[in-house]
Structure formats: structure tokens, C-alpha cells
Amino acid sequence: MKAHKYWSLGALACMAGCFYTGCKKLMQAHKYFACGSLVCMGMAIYSGHKIAPKKKKAEKAEK
């Protein structure tokens, strides 16, 4: 759960940096923030997927 929270906050920070550098027309920094945002969002999705409950296992346990 901690990893998911930190990856999500990292993605949020990168998105804010990406928005700011896009508005200021700093394209080199904008590219790095965009790539960082993609990595953080991907890791947040992956870590969130690992903590999500599995329905198939719960259904098999009931039978």
C-alpha cells in the first residue's frame, strides 16, 4: 500500500512539473517530466493491481 501511495504522489508531482514546464515553453524539461510521469503512473497502476482483491480466489474458497 505504501508503494502505491508514493508512486501515485510521484506521478502527481511529475504531472504538475510537466504542466508548468509546458506553460513556460521549456520543452527539454517538459519531455523529462512527461517521461517521469509515465513511469510513475505505470508503477502506480502495477502496485495498485497487486493490492486489489482477487475475485476468482474468493469465489473458489466459497465452493
Give the span between the Cα atoms of 53 and 45, in whole angstroms: 14
Kindly report, residue by residue over 16-56, the tens digit of the pLDDT: 999 999 999 999 999 999 999 999 999 999 999 888 887 76
Give the span between the Cα atoms of 41 and 6, in whole angstroms: 11
Give the residue numbers spanning the domain of 26. Answer: 2-62
pTM: 0.77
Kindly report, residue by residue over 9-22, the tens digit of the pLDDT: 999 999 999 999 99
Give the span between the Cα atoms of 13 and 3, in whole angstroms: 15
Query: Distance from CA of residue 14 to its chain's centroid?
Result: 10
pLDDT at 60: 66
Q: What domain count does the chain have?
A: 1
